[in-house]
């Protein structure tokens, strides 16, 4: 389950992939996690016509190399699943799911938490100024 700060389209694709994984539908899960990455890239403003290109656009925007690697690994797993019928192991799929989840924490959950904390401090500061 992804954090509630992750946009619905990404969460929905991820959760469908997770359900497929839990049902033992490994190829479908691989394609689903790839779909979640595609939605994430679009949400982050990537516009290239291929997913690999979209991921590289995010790299150019300064995303950490480990996040880029995770997104690209997920792309490869999804492509192998849909185009070559590769069925990755449960452990490999669980790792991909974790990589995507970690990327969403970095891209969505942490920034949202920082914004909420900054807003809280700002309100407290304003309240203190008005009381003096």
Token output for 104? 């969403």
Residue with tokens 């797993």: 77
DSSP secondary structure of 35-95: HHHHHHHHHTT---SSHHHHHHHHHHTT--HHHHHHHHHHHHHHHHHHHS-----HHHHHH
pTM exceeds 0.75 for this model: yes
| Local structure of residue 5 (DSSP, 8 states) | T
- What are the pLDDT digits (tens) for 75-128? 999 999 999 999 999 999 999 999 999 999 999 998 888 888 888 898 888 888
Mean pLDDT estimate for the chain: 93
């Amino acid at each position: 389950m992804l954090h509630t700060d992750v946009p619905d389209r990404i969460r929905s694709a991820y959760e469908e992939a997770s359900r497929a994984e839990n049902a033992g539908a490994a190829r479908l899960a691989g394609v689903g996690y790839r779909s979640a990455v595609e939605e994430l890239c679009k949400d982050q403003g990537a516009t290239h016509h291929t997913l690999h290109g979209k991921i590289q656009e995010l790299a150019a925007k300064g995303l950490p190399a480990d996040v880029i690697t995770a997104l690209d690994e997920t792309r490869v797993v999804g492509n192998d699943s849909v185009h070559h019928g590769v069925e990755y192991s449960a452990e490999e799929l669980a790792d991909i799911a974790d990589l995507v989840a970690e990327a969403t924490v970095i891209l969505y959950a942490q920034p949202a938490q920082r914004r909420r904390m900054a807003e809280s401090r700002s309100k407290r500061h304003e309240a203190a100024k008005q009381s003096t």
